[in-house]
Structure 1
Amino acid sequence: MIENIYLALDFPTWEEANDFIEWNEFHGIPVKVGMELYYREGPRLIESLKENGHAIFLDLKLHDIPTTVMKAMKNIAGLGVDMVNVHALGGSDMIRRAKEGLMAGSPTNHEPKLIAVTIMTSMDNAAMNDELKIQGNLQNNVIHFADFARENGADGVVCSVHEANRIKDVCGASFLTVTPGIRLQESADDDQKRIATPAFARENGADILVAGRTITNSRNPKSAYENVQKEWLYGVE
């Protein structure tokens, strides 16, 4: 098991997610829990995963008024998750209050890392310009949001692998880059625009990988997970 490779549990129910874990002997590996699963199962899901030794990235992408986000984060911190995220577009006060909530609600010595979402990896430059009306180059905007999040207390950002090295240059080596859109070479792209292989991620400044469909849609998920680990450690032969 590699501690910085998170498996995305993109399943509609805990029963299906747990069956997948059991069938593939994924006991205790780091996992990402998103909105679909958490909104159905709630805190009991997190409790079950923690009991089984999983590190957890709770991927809820909070984006609301600062006080509401602060109170939500205080409750989330009490669950004992390892990472949780907000949208950087929520603004400086919201990010600061999110951090405040995590600090207030965390058990001793276990404050979750606060991760900010920059530009969704499902978006490309045209969509950012035309739909969001955010002008300029996509990568430059990602770097701006990353530095903005760091200044307001975030511990890292969700970004594509393609921006990770530049974020490190601007925000420092200790600022975390969490990179979804990880695919083995034989996998389909699906709805992610800015994807990369594990080997490319390692070479380009990613700290934490989030891998989902490249594993969960594989005919042999255990082998796919092992291949993600091998590519991360040794590159592509």
Structure 2
Amino acid sequence: MALDLDDWQKVRDMAELLSPVVDGFKVGMRLFYRVGPKVWEFLRGKAEILFADLKLHDIPSTVAGGVRALVAQGVNLLNVHAAGGKAMLQAAVEAAAEEASLQGLPRPWLVAVTVLTSLDDISLREEVGIPEAVSQRVLAWARLARECGLDGVVASPLEVGLLRRELGEDFLLVTPGIRPASYPAGDQKRVATAAEALRAGADLLVVGRPIVASPDPLAAALAIRREMEEGDWFCAPKK
């Protein structure tokens, strides 16, 4: 569940409401930059997964420092951007393991962001300057992430099937861009339903606006949960 909200009271109300029916909470830039580490203190114990979605992307030493800080705050899933390259990714892996050991915590999942779900082949080529198709760039960055020792990647539901076939079952696929069939895509271009993403091989689904913006967030979350659990693909997250 993506807590993409600005108001701290609304965040607390939403988390209390949805805690019984979601497996984790994702905190992105919008919320973390507004309230800071206190968000983890509040969320701890309310869900199994605390996901710091800050897409760290900088020189290796800076990213390593950011990873250490987040691990010390108790998150157990965090991401860096694959575009940072091998040295940065390896520094993040080492920092996560070392800080977890220092704090006496389990090592968190570390995943790499690939191509944002707001991009398609045309915008990737004409605006970002990468000539490959989105699927090929996602696969290349996913291979790099695995080579560097990361647990998996963040990728849209449209690439999940390719990644699962190419990288196997022991590679964590975190999938945003989840929308009910009748829900508008908004500013995301590569989207799918929960059932479609799970059928393709996704491990963890990230859902925000279809729940947060609903007049009945609990009913919206339960509907997506039912869709997830009705198929024979449903399983607990792997680590």
Matches within 5 A, 1:154-193: 154-193=150-189
The match for 1:91 among 85, 98, 105 is: 85
Aligned equivalents of 1:9, 1:220: Cα separation in 2: 15
Where do 5+ consecutive residues of structure 2 fail to align?
232-239
Corresponding position of 1:81? 75
**8 A Cα contact 1:28 1:53, kept in partner:** no
Q: CA deviation at 1:51?
A: 4.2
State TM-score, norm by structure 2. Answer: 0.91
Amino acid in structure 2 at the alignment position of 1:46: W
Q: CA deviation at 1:109?
A: 4.7
**8 A Cα contact 1:28 1:52, kept in partner:** no
Q: CA deviation at 1:27?
A: 4.6
| CA displacement 1:49-87 (0-9 Å, x = unmatched) | 114345211100000000111111111111111110011
Structure 1 runs of 4+ with >6 Å offset: none
Aligned equivalents of 2:144, 2:63: Cα separation in 1: 18
Corresponding position of 2:10? 16
CA pair 42-28 structure 1, distance change in 2 beyond 3 A: farther
Identity %: 40
The match for 2:25 among 27, 31, 44 is: 31
Q: Please tell me whether residue 226 in structure 1 is matched to residue 219 in structure 2.
A: no
Q: Please tell me whether residue 195 in structure 1 is matched to residue 191 in structure 2.
A: yes
Q: CA deviation at 1:186?
A: 2.3
Amino acid in structure 2 at the alignment position of 1:93: A
Q: What do you get for the CA RMSD once the two structures are aligned?
A: 1.4
Aligned equivalents of 1:52, 1:8: Cα separation in 2: 14
Aligned equivalents of 2:224, 2:62: Cα separation in 1: 38
State TM-score, norm by structure 1. Answer: 0.92
Count, aligned residues: 228
Aligned equivalents of 2:21, 2:224: Cα separation in 1: 17
Amino acid in structure 1 at the alignment position of 2:9: E
**8 A Cα contact 1:31 1:55, kept in partner:** yes
**8 A Cα contact 2:21 2:221, kept in partner:** no
The match for 2:213 among 217, 226, 229 is: 217
What's the secondary structure of 2:43's corresponding residue?
A: helix
Corresponding position of 1:206? 202
Corresponding position of 2:237? none
Amino acid in structure 1 at the alignment position of 2:88: M
Amino acid in structure 2 at the alignment position of 1:234: E
Aligned equivalents of 2:47, 2:230: Cα separation in 1: 26
Where do 5+ consecutive residues of structure 1 fail to align?
1-6
**8 A Cα contact 1:27 1:54, kept in partner:** no
Amino acid in structure 1 at the alignment position of 2:108: P
Corresponding position of 1:126? 122
**8 A Cα contact 2:143 2:167, kept in partner:** yes
The match for 1:150 among 143, 146, 155 is: 146
